[in-house]
A and B are shown apart, each in its own frame.
Chain A
Amino acid sequence: MAWVEVCEAGEVDVEDVIRFDQEDRSFAVYRSDKGDYYATDGFCTHGRFHLADGLVMGKLIECPKHNGRFDITSGAAVRVPACKDLQTYPVKVEAGRVYINIE
């Protein structure tokens, strides 16, 4: 398991998202309206636009360019033009820091 440290837990607001780049890969790390952390690939599966500029609504992320939506808990595409699901990654919070497993 390749756990990578992302940020301090408080750096992601509730119902918000941040961008996290690791070498040539880019991720989006979210907090839902319940305060839980999730992570997915950073770019929308419809067009190459980063989801970290989008809007988190409950457990959904809306792409900033075409308003496609994904469920951040499962990566499922739930609104067109997004049709292909996002890859999700396990997230853990330890000692006040957020980690994602990018394997």
Chain B
Amino acid sequence: MAIVVQRRDYSLLGPESKQADEKGLASAQWHATPIPRARMKELMKRKDGPAIRDTLIWLGGLIILGYLAYLSWGTWWAVPAFFLYGTLYASPGDSRWHECGHGTAFKTPWMNDVVYHIGSFCVLRSATPWRWSHSRHHTDTIIVGRDPEIITARPPIWKILYMQIFHLYGGPIEIKRFILHTFGKLEEQEKEYIPASEYDKVFREARIYMLIFLAVIAACIVTGSVLPAMFIILPTFYGGLLVLTFGITQHLGLYEDVLDHRLNTRTVYFNPVFRFLYWNMNYHVEHHMFPMVPYHALPKLHEEMKYDCPEARPSLWAALREVIGALRKQKHDPAYVVVKPLPVTALPYRYGPELNDDLELTRSEA
């Protein structure tokens, strides 16, 4: 007899949203690793230097790779050249969007804003809606019915993950939203987390994006070539592999509906190149627990928090194996999650509003 696995309703408009509220999981108090105030103040300190340096390297790299890609156009060398260009366009676009959205990357606010808008465009995310969506993600991280940024449900929808290799699931959704916003409308779900006072800004930004789209399309028509779009807009799609690869290590395969980032978020050690591309977001438990710590201080924060956290995954490869393994198990057992033992120095996990709720509904492995 076939076993039918019931999938929960992950939409923000369904019954799960109200249930999360009733369970005390919405806008709740989360576990925070105790760190002396003086040390935390040092870690929170803002600087312009590291982000200016990294932004110059990023944009300089794009110019160099873009020029090489241009020279290679019409030859087979164009394949690796545009792959590298697209990866450098989309992956740092994602991480710069993220860090500058928090307003922590630069000390100077306008620098955060400028790079935030560049990053948003690079990954085709509506700047203002995604700022609010991400704010909700931090309030209610992986709380079903509350968090709009859960990549896939349980059991996993593999089609979404496969399509996202080329941003073919999220990309069309975003373009549909741009069109909606251009005409002064929002999706019902967006109204759940974007305040009405921000609507005009949303519509204005969408119209600017739309003008850029039209200009690129016009350039393609005038030149009789897709080349202009290969440098702007299309890299979001053909350069999205690392965006997905890095992104799925953040939360997938871990707990839902808990109030402890050590349970639902993963920290992974990356090599220096990946850390540059991802702006240290591989220290993801640390980032979620203390989002006011800038990316350049996350390795130091990681050292401060080690006594209270499970071991980090040793590499991207190890993290991917853990994620894929968990997703495969969730296909048959949606309650399956990866559980990581804590060091003896750590405070206990916080499973819910009441400390150490029973976990009878969750199967896990130590």
Contact = CB atoms under 8 A, between A and B. Distances in A.
Given A55-B292, A67-B292, A80 B131 contact: yes
A62 B102 CA distance: 11
Interface string B22-46: 0000010000100001000100101
A67 to B, nearest CB: 5
A46 B135 CA distance: 10
Contacts of B44: 55
B109 A64 contact: no
B9 interface: no
A55 B139 CA distance: 18
Nearest to A79: B103
Interface residues of B, number: 21
Main secondary structure of the interface of A (DSSP, over half): loop
Contact of A65 (B103, B109, B132, B291): B291
A50 B40 CA distance: 15
A66 interface: yes
Interface footprint category on A: 10 to 19
B109 A66 contact: no
Contacts of A69: 103
Nearest to A63: B292
Nearest to A55: B44
Contact of A81 (B27, B46, B131): B131
Given A47-B27, A48-B27, A66 B290 contact: no
A84 to B, nearest CB: 10
Contact of B41 (A46, A55, A66, A79): A55
Contact of A79 (B27, B109, B198, B290): B109
Given A54-B292, A57-B46, A80 B109 contact: no
Given A81-B135, A83-B195, 6 more contacts: A48-B27, A66-B138, A66-B291, A79-B103, A80-B198, A81-B131
Interface of A: 16, 46-48, 53-55, 57, 62-67, 69, 79-81, 83
19 contacts: A16-B37, A16-B41, A47-B139, A53-B32, A54-B292, A55-B292, A62-B292, A63-B292, A64-B292, A65-B138, A65-B139, A66-B138, A67-B102, A67-B104, A69-B103, A80-B132, A81-B131, A83-B195, A83-B197
